[in-house]
Chain A
Amino acid sequence: MQSTMTLSADGRKPARTRKHVPLSFLLAGIAILGAVIYLVYVNTQTNAVYYVTVPELRHCTKCATQAVRVAGIVQAGSIKQNDKAQNVTFVIGDDNQTLQVSYSGVVPDIFRAGVQVVVEGRYSGSGPFQAQTLLAKCPSKFQAATPTVTQ
C-alpha cells in the first residue's frame, strides 16, 4: 500500500454533490447497531443486581424479590465451617449493622475475618442471607500491605 494512493489522496479535491450511502450499508449498519443496543438493553434488564451495604439492605423494599449484592466486612470470630452441610456461615457488617450469611461453595483463598467481601444472593428479610457467590476483595497487585486505604 505504498505510493500510488498518496497522489490521489492528497491532490484531488473530491467533486461530490452530496453524501451517498448505499441502502445495503444503512441496513447492515442499523442491524448491527440495533443488535448491540438490544443485547445491552435486554441483558442489563436481566442481569442488573442491586449493590448495597448492610444498612441499605434493611431498608430495601425490592430486595426480597430479586438478587442483590451486599458488601461488608467479615466480623471477627463469626466464621463457622459446617462440614456436614458443606457450607460456611459468617456475619458481615459495617459499623453497627450486621447480617448473617450462609454460603456453600468454594471459599476464596483470602477469606478471613476482617476481609471485605461481596456476597450475592437473595434475602427474604429474615433468617440468614443465602449467598450464591462469595467474592473476597483481594488486596492484590498494587495494594500495599500496610493499609493505605483512606476513604
Chain B
Amino acid sequence: MQAATSLVPKNYLTEKQGILSWLFTTDHKRIGILYTGSITAFFFLGGFFALLMRLELLTPETNLVQAETYNKLFTMHGIIMVWFFLIPSIPNTLGNFFIPMAIGAKDLAFPKLNLLSWYVFMLGAGITIYALCRGGVDTGWTFYTPFSTSYSTTYVVAAAIGILVNGFSSIATGLNFIVTIHKMRAPGLTWFRLPIFCWSMYATSMILVLATPVLAITLLMVAVERLAQVGIFDPALGGDPVLFQHMFWFYSHPAVYIMVLPGMAVVSEIIPAFSRKPLFGYKAVAFSSIAIAVLGFFVWGHHMFVAGTSVYSAMTFSLLSYFIAVPSAIKVFNWTATVYGGAVSWDTPMLYAVGFIGLFTIGGMTGLFLAALGLDVHVTDTYFVIAHFHYIMVGGTVMAYLGGVHYWWPKISGKMYPEGIARLSAATVFLGFNLTFFPQFILGYLGMPRRYAAYPPEFHMLNVLSTAGASILAVGYVMPLFYLLWSWKYGPAAGPNPWRATGLEWKTESPPPKHNFEVTPVVTYGAYDYEALKEELQLVS
C-alpha cells in the first residue's frame, strides 16, 4: 500500500508542518484535532475527580477526603465534564472535521472564527483551571444561589467567568455550523439529501446559539452579585433564588440536548453504514432532531419541581417533558428498523452505536419517571437522578463519541485501528458502565441522596459495586488512547472507504487533502442510497 514517497499526494496533515502551522491553522480538520487533544485531556481530568469521588464512596464514612473537599470534587467533576468535555465533544471534534466534508464544502463558512473559538475555549479552560488550582469551587456545577452568591468561600467568580468565556466558543461554533449548512452545500445537495449527521448537528447548533447566551448572562449576574455585593438573588434585598434556577435551567436543560443530539447524529451515520441499508424513516429522524431542539426549551422547570414553583407551572413542565420523549423514541424506533433486515457487521463503531441505543433508551425512560411529579418528589436529588443522566451522557454521548471516533478514524488518520482490541475495549466500557451506574438507580430509589460524602451503612454493598464498575470503566477508556495512537503510527493504511459507506467524506482520500475534495462533488442521490451506489461501493476496497 506504500506508494513511492515522491508520488504521495499532500494531505491536510502533511500540507504544512511545524507547531505554528497548527496554532495558526484555519483548516477545520486541524482545528478538529486541536479540540480533540483538549477535550481528551479534560475528560481524563474530570474522570480523575470522579475516581476520587468513587474511592471516597467505597466506605460509608468520610475518610478519604473531608466533606468540604468532596463538595469541590463533585463540583469540578461536573463543571469540567459538562462544559469542557461533553458540550464541545462531538460538535467541535467530529462536527468540525466532517460537516464541511459531508456537504461537499472546502471549509466552514467562517474558518478564522473557528480557530478563534478554540482559543476562546482554551482561555475559558485556563480561567477555570486557575479556579481549580486556587482551591476549586464547592457550589455544585449548578451554582445555586444564595449559596454561590452569598455564602460560598471558594473561587466562584473565577469559575463563573471561565465558563462564561467558554460559552462564547460554543456560540461561535453553533453560528458557524448553521451558516455553513445553509450556505455551503455542494450543488445538488438539497436539505433532504443531507446526512442525518448534518440535521442533528444543525439542531444542536440552534440550541448552542439560543441557549448559551442565557447561561452567560446568568453567570455574569452571579459574578456581579458576589463582587459588588448587590442582591439580585439575595432574599434579604428582595431577590429570588428561584429566579436564578429559572435562568440557569433555561440554558442547562437545552444544554443536555446539546450533549445528546450530536451522539444521535453519529449513531444515525453508523447504523446505516454497518447495516448496509438506508436509514429507515429519514424525514421522521430529521424532523425529530429539530423537534428535540425546539421542545427542549419548553421543559426546564422539571429541574425545579421541589424548588417552590407554582403547581400549574410544574404541571405544565411535567406534561411537556413527557412530550419530548416522543421524538427521541421515534429515533430509536427508526434506528432499530434500519438494523432489521440489514447485512449487519459488528465492527467496533456498530458495537458502540448499538450500546448507545440500549443505554440511551434506559436513561431516557428513567427521565420519564423523573418527569412524573409525584415520583420526582421521592427520587429528586438522589442517586436515581445521577444514574439517569449518566446513562444518557456516558452510556449515550460518550459511547457515541467513541463510536464516531472509531468510525471516522480511518478517514482522519489514514490508518486502520486494531479491531480485536477495540472490540475488547468497547465491551469493557459497556460492562464497566453498567456495573457503575445500574446500582445507582437502586441506591437512589432506596433514598441515598446525591452530593453526600457519607451515607448510611445499608447502602454500602451497592456503592462498592459502583466503584468496582468505575475502575473497569476507567480501563475501558484508557485503552483507546493507546491503541488509537499506536495505529496512527503503525496501523495499516485504510484507503478512502474501508467501511464501504455512503457519504461524501468517503469519496475522498484518507487522510483528506487540505481542501477536502479535488473537485467539488455534484450530488444526485439521497444520503443513504445504498441501492444506487451498490456498484460504486463494491469497487472501492
Asked if A pairs with B, the answer is no
Residues of B within 8 A of A (CB): none
